[in-house]
Structure 1
């Protein structure tokens, strides 16, 4: 490709790019479950901008193009809820999703005192489940959303930062 992908905190100017990429990336999930009314496909720009105000949102850039993103926030009990991990289809299977997930984990632990990480995906989303398991996440619950879809919740403990590291 010639250029390397960088990961940075999202800016207000990134919101529209994130939303467009999110719409592209979640088409395959919607098709897999036969439901095009899933939240990532119905989220508005105003909703995303409001979420960006109090959520850690990262973007992956190839040059100036946003090719990935992830979001996370930490609850009062120290649980970091991570979501909307997206990577442009042409950039998938090159480790970018893992890099985004590792970076949001690092930032949520360092900046917001995350003690554990939680995320979820659909039960048929085998690629997502493989990635999360490979990165140390374990299933802790499954919730039936509809006849055709169940959400699998996965968690892992945060590794405490070493002083002076």
Structure 2
């Protein structure tokens, strides 16, 4: 049978006191440290989650800004192309107008020179005709003399036309 003695009572009291001391000085502080550590880890996890959300938001803003920048650059390029095309068409149109004016001026100049040459030829022919008439009147009129004057007139008229046209 079991004998209850003072030794057993003192052992039980010692165990209870030891348990209470350990609970107060060892288990309590260790549990407090564990709770603080658990709270610290939870706060760091929440902070990391907030930083991740902020990073995702900034990434979305960056991607949106990048997309709008790409669209804006495409619009700028299209505008520059349209401006260049318009300027090119304007330059070609201006060049065509200038070329038309130059051609028209050249035609007018050629026409004027042609008129001047014809006028010169007419005055030269008139002068030759006057000379021929003077010779006819001064030499008298003979068939041989008339043929000679006629041939001379044609020769001089041909020479005058050749030099005026060149």
TM-score, normalised via structure 2 length = 0.14
TM-score, normalised via structure 1 length = 0.14
| Rg larger for | 2
More strand by share: 1
